[in-house]
Structure 1
Amino acid sequence: MSLNNKTLFITGASRGIGREIALRAARDGANIVIAAKSAEAHAKLPGTIHSVAEEVIAAGGQALALQLDVRDENAVAVAMAKAAEHFGGIDALINNAGAIKLMGVEHLPAKRFDLMYQINTRAVMVCSQAALPYLKKSSNGHIINLSPPLNLDEKWFAQHGPYTVTKYGMSMLTLGMSAEFKKYAISVNSLWPKTMIATAAIEFELGSRDAFKRARSPLIMADAAYTILNSKQRSISGRLLIDEEILREHGQTEFEHYRFDPEGGDLIPDLFVD
């Protein structure tokens, strides 16, 4: 498997899972478009498009850092065109940008729901739509949405229904686009972690790093995405995948090295995973 000379457009790639996917592909010599809002350092959320670009180049890849707000469809179209011109095309889109607020309907401000909907659900459509002309020309086009399995147990709606709706919207678009884009031989899948992943965004939402003792590092998601991106001829498409499960399907049996804290306790299952 290799992503050498393949071009990946990754949203929200300035930190966390997006950054880890970028670095994993860079080791093959891939071209990485780091598309995120973070052009300048944030006091509580380390990482920028420029720092990740430097890391990608150091890892062996090529990098293009683009500041992008995925809520702006015109800016998205311009960014896709710049990426395709710079690298000669686009082979994969990773819809990784996300917004989270674990709050119920009663107290969630409408503008916060709008933000989650625009960055989660709407941006998947906008980015996929803008990438489509270039993905059609790829010999092995892929779209991966960072969204969960569709688990309709009411417990996933009771405390944070608005967030759930926006993430499930992404997964439903996965199913729809996989069928719609079949004629273009483009694979479309969702990917979600089996356990909590130690990222700055989760630390920011929870207010501390205590849970990281029972979390995995983003590397497991990067390895799972790498496996999907190397699949050919839509051998994997239209699936709502769990990181550990897709790795097991491809022969991996050991997962301890993904622990964020080797001395930590039992891993915490992620949202939407029973």
Structure 2
Amino acid sequence: MSDVAAPDLDGRTAFITGTTRGIGKAIALSLAEHGCNVVSTGKTVDDTDADLDGTIHETAAECEDRGVASHAIQLDLRDADEVAAAASEAIDVFGEVDIVVNNASAIEIASVESMPANRFDLMTEVNVRGTYLTSRAFVPHLREIGGGQILTNAPPVTMDRGPGKAAYAWSKLGMTFVTLSLAGELEGDGIAANAFWPVTAIDTRATRYFGMGTEDDWRSPAIVADTVLELLDRDIEYTGNAVYDEEILREAGVDDFAEYNLTEGDPAPLSARMFDPDYERPA
């Protein structure tokens, strides 16, 4: 995390959804490097016959290699009972869980006409409902331990109505609405809730699969992980915000983002413009 004071997360524990690979794994490993215990959750526990490498157990092991305790829990965010059980298991294992990161998401870019209802339902259930269920499962515990932080990988609330984005944009903005509403509900309990989103597309399986630009347009997941670190370093009074990664890192003193770029030169703000076609990067 260059140019930014690294937070001390020793003794803290984070429950993170979607840690098998990509952004979720990057966040998990980054928090572990800064002393945070990690609950690694997701659906993949065996990648032997899978098209993609990575399991929640591999991520947990890599966190432990960084000197922290980690625990893997298989989790389908669509199942309310599984979410509640996973929260209880995490609390039983670590005693306290004071960081909740809603990272897992389903994505599909398609027109309303071409997207079947079951794919719409999937994004609604995983993204909006999953964020709702996960956050809700931890609220009583966070109150009991005297506070904590809920962070959600979702964009600032804008109203882009571009073609092909109806289902995905609705579900991601729904994640943001859940988080911002929680911020107001929990402010008096010492529980902060904020959303974060990358300005540029991030190099992940989904980015490549859906053809969202080329390497010239992408950054590494490290920029999102550093954004999470900066948010965790903020006072608990910093709540109710939906921020872009560049915005929060500039406030922390970063003015050169070259280390995150996959190729020379800053990539275009594709991700921000997906939700706000008028987005302009600060000079």
Q: TM-score range by the shorter chain?
A: over 0.9
Q: Establish whether residue 99 from structure 1 lines up as the match of residue 106 from structure 2.
A: yes
Instruction: Give ranges in structure 1 of 5+ residues lacking alignment.
Output: none
Is the 2:202–2:219 Cα contact (8 Å) retained in structure 1?
yes
Say whether 1:147 aligns with 2:148: no
Local SS of the residue matching 1:111: helix
1:34 aligned counterpart, secondary structure: strand
Q: Does 1:194 align with 2:220?
A: no
Pairing of 1:148-187 with structure 2 (within 5 A): 148-155=155-162, 158-187=163-192
Please report how far the alpha carbon of residue 135 of structure 1 lies from its aligned counterpart in structure 2 after TM superposition: 1.6
Displacement after TM superposition at 1:126 (Å): 0.4
Taking structure 1 as the reference length, the TM-score comes to: 0.93
Using the TM superposition, give the Cα deviation of residue 44 of structure 1 relative to its aligned residue in structure 2, in angstroms.
Answer: 3.0
- Cα deviation, 1:83-142, whole Å, max 9, x if unaligned, reads 111111111110001001101211110000000000000111100110112222345401
SS at match of 1:47: coil
Q: TM-score, normalised by structure 2?
A: 0.90
1: distance between equivalents of 2:145 and 2:209? 37
> Are residues 1:25 and 2:31 paired?
yes
- Alignment partner of 2:229 out of 226, 229, 235: 226
1:15 maps onto 2:18 in alignment: no
* Deviation digits for residues 234-262 of structure 1 (CA, Å, limit 9, x no counterpart): 2x211111011101111122210001x23
Aligned residue for 1:122, secondary structure, equals: helix
Q: Secondary structure at the match of 2:144?
A: coil
Which whole-Å CA distance do the structure 2 matches of 1:35 and 1:166 have between them?
Answer: 20
Letter in 2 for 1:97: A
Cross-structure match for 2:3: none
Match in the other structure for 1:120: 127
Q: 1:184 to 1:241 in 2, by over 3 A?
A: same
Runs of 4+ aligned residues of structure 1 deviating over 4 Å after TM superposition are none
Q: Over residues 164-215 of structure 1, what are the superposed CA-to-partner deviations in whole Å (9 max), with x where a residue is unaligned?
A: 1111111111221100111211100111000000012322333x9x713321
Structure 2 unmatched ranges of 5 or more: 1-6
2:194 aligned counterpart, secondary structure: strand
Q: Among 37, 40, 44, which residue is 2:43 paired with?
A: 37
Counterpart contact for 2:217–2:270, Cα < 8 Å: no
Match for residue 79 of structure 1 among 59, 66, 86: 86
Aligned length in residues: 268
Q: Name the aligned partner's letter for residue 267 of structure 1.
A: A
Once the two structures are aligned, what percentage of the paired residues are identical? 38
| SS of residue paired to 1:150 | coil
CA distance in 1, matches of 2:206, 2:161: 25
Residue 214 of structure 2 is aligned to residue 211 of structure 1: yes
How far the C-alpha of 1:265 sits from its partner, in A, is: 7.4
State the alpha-carbon separation in 1 of the partners of residues 146 and 214 from structure 2. Answer: 42
**TM superposition shift of 1:43:** 3.4
Output the amino acid matched with 2:42: A
Of 230, 236, 239, the residue aligned with 1:237 is: 239
Structure 1 residue 19, shift from structure 2 partner: 0.6
Q: Indicate if the aligned counterparts of 1:28 and 1:61 stay in contact, CA closer than 8 A.
A: no
Matched residue, 2:257: 255
Letter in 1 for 2:190: A
- Shift, 1:152, TM fit: 1.1
